[in-house]
Amino acid sequence: MNIPMVDLKQQYAQIKDELNSSLLAALEATQFILGPNVQAFEKETAGYLGVKHAIGVASGTDALHLALAAAGIGKNDEVITTPFTFIATAEAIAYVGATPVFVDINKDTFNIDLEQVKAAINDKTRAVVPVHLFGQPVDMPALKALCVTNNLKIIEDCAQSFGAHIDGQQTGSFGDAGAFSFFPSKNLGCYGDGGLISTNSDKMAEDIKVLRNHGSTKQYHHSVIGYNSRLDELQAVILRTKLKHIDDYNTNRRRVDQTYKAMLADTDVQTPVEDGAGYHVYHQYTCLHPQRDRIMQTLRDAGIACAIYYPIPLHKQEVFAKDCENMVLPVTENVVKNCFSLPVYPELTEDNIRLITDTIKTAL
């Protein structure tokens, strides 16, 4: 594609010298498992997020899984979440033996509808997993008040929201824990898989550190059945380098949003909506239009990348469909028919955005 969904080559070119020297130093130090860069990254990220603890793990999926396990969620428990997200959100709930309960989304932000959450709570409900979808924070003060009233845990899915905040308080600092992904295309991404769990709970942090390292607190002493889920030392080097630039990256993503909005203002394309509840960091740039397929084909013919996040909601996925066969979630089902995502990355130029939006206008 002439214009990709994300351009990691441009980003790498900007930080190449600093990154390469740091990687070389880590290679020469040869401390590759839970080494000094992992420890430093955890400390730096905890400071950025404003939490007591940040624990690096092998992926965002593992972050959700281990956070739920450390929160005590398990068999016969129900966990309320959104159907409009990547499957890892619900997979992690299933991993601990709990049942994901899907509720509908807000028609503007595509985040979980808090009124639907409230209606779904019953005596089996133990937790809520809100997803800060595409970088738009869920209204966490309102959700937290609801969960406190009902004695529910909150595990924030922050896979797409690093740097998003509500009045300066970062996503991942509101709930019992936050789960972050550092997949390469994320706002803060490494060059492979990586994840992190944030929490203010000393107990949860200690339990997660045991779970991520084969259930061990001391070498060859294992207190529980754990996992092999440790953030890689070299990925931590990359993340430490990029963490210094994350606010600039997110500021430029917001610049891209404003440029798209201005250039599409004379069309009936619904661009992403900010609800005023928080600072959106635009991990994806997801729009709505009933002629979605025509727009996407015209973009691809012009060498412009585009994608659908997500074409099949989780309650319609084969793995969950039997348990959800009578479930109707009208907002979600309408959104998946009309949504499409445009390129968004900090380095995207105004000229390229103009080319993208002119191509959309041609399609329409």
Confidence class of residue 250 from pLDDT cuts 50, 70 and 90?
A: very high
200 inside domain: yes
Same domain, 291 and 203: no
Same domain, 51 and 194: yes
1 inside domain: no
C-alpha span between 263 and 29 (Å, rounded): 50
Total tally of structural domains belonging to the chain: 2
Structure-block tokens of residue 268? 């009936």
Which residue, 197, 213, 243, sits at the end of a domain?
Answer: 243
Same domain, 141 and 280: no
Q: Encode pLDDT of 176-193 as tens digits.
A: 999 999 999 999 999 999
Q: Which domain holds residue 25?
A: 8-243
Same domain, 304 and 218: no
- CB-neighbour burial class of residue 4 (10 A; exposed 0-12, middle 13-18, buried 19+): middle
Q: Encode pLDDT of 290-301 as tens digits.
A: 999 999 999 999
C-alpha span between 174 and 156 (Å, rounded): 8
Buried (b) or exposed (e) across 24-50, using 16+ Cβ within 10 A? Answer: eebeeeeeeebbebbeebbebbbebbe
Work out the widest C-alpha separation in the chain, in whole angstroms: 65
Q: The domain spanning residue 36 has which CATH number?
A: 3.40.640.10
Q: Across the chain, what does the average pLDDT equal?
A: 97
User: Do 137 and 279 contact (CB within 8 A), yes or no?
Assistant: yes
Same domain, 302 and 359: yes
Confidence class of residue 276 from pLDDT cuts 50, 70 and 90?
A: confident
292 inside domain: yes
162 inside domain: yes
Please give the backbone phi and psi of residue 165, each rounded to the nearest 5 degrees, phi first.
Answer: -150, 165
Q: Could you tell me the pTM of the whole model?
A: 0.97
Which residue, 189, 217, 243, sits at the end of a domain?
Answer: 243
Same domain, 235 and 251: no
Q: Encode pLDDT of 27-74 as tens digits.
A: 999 999 999 999 999 999 999 999 999 999 999 999 999 999 999 999
- CB-neighbour burial class of residue 266 (10 A; exposed 0-12, middle 13-18, buried 19+): exposed
Q: The domain spanning residue 314 has which CATH number?
A: 3.90.1150.10
Kindly write down the DSSP assignment for every residue of 284-314, as one continuous string. Answer: SEEEE-TTHHHHHHHHHHTTB--B-S-SS-G
Percent of the chain, pLDDT > 90?
Answer: 98
Predicted pLDDT of residue 147: 98
Q: Encode pLDDT of 111-125 as tens digits.
A: 999 999 999 999 999
Same domain, 24 and 81: yes
Which residue, 208, 225, 243, sits at the end of a domain?
Answer: 243
Predicted pLDDT of residue 335: 98
2 inside domain: no
133 inside domain: yes
Same domain, 238 and 288: no
69 inside domain: yes
Same domain, 278 and 143: no
153 inside domain: yes
Same domain, 136 and 162: yes
Same domain, 315 and 192: no
Same domain, 74 and 222: yes
C-alpha span between 140 and 138 (Å, rounded): 5
User: Do 214 and 222 contact (CB within 8 A), yes or no?
Assistant: yes
Q: Which residues face 213 on adjacent strands?
A: 228
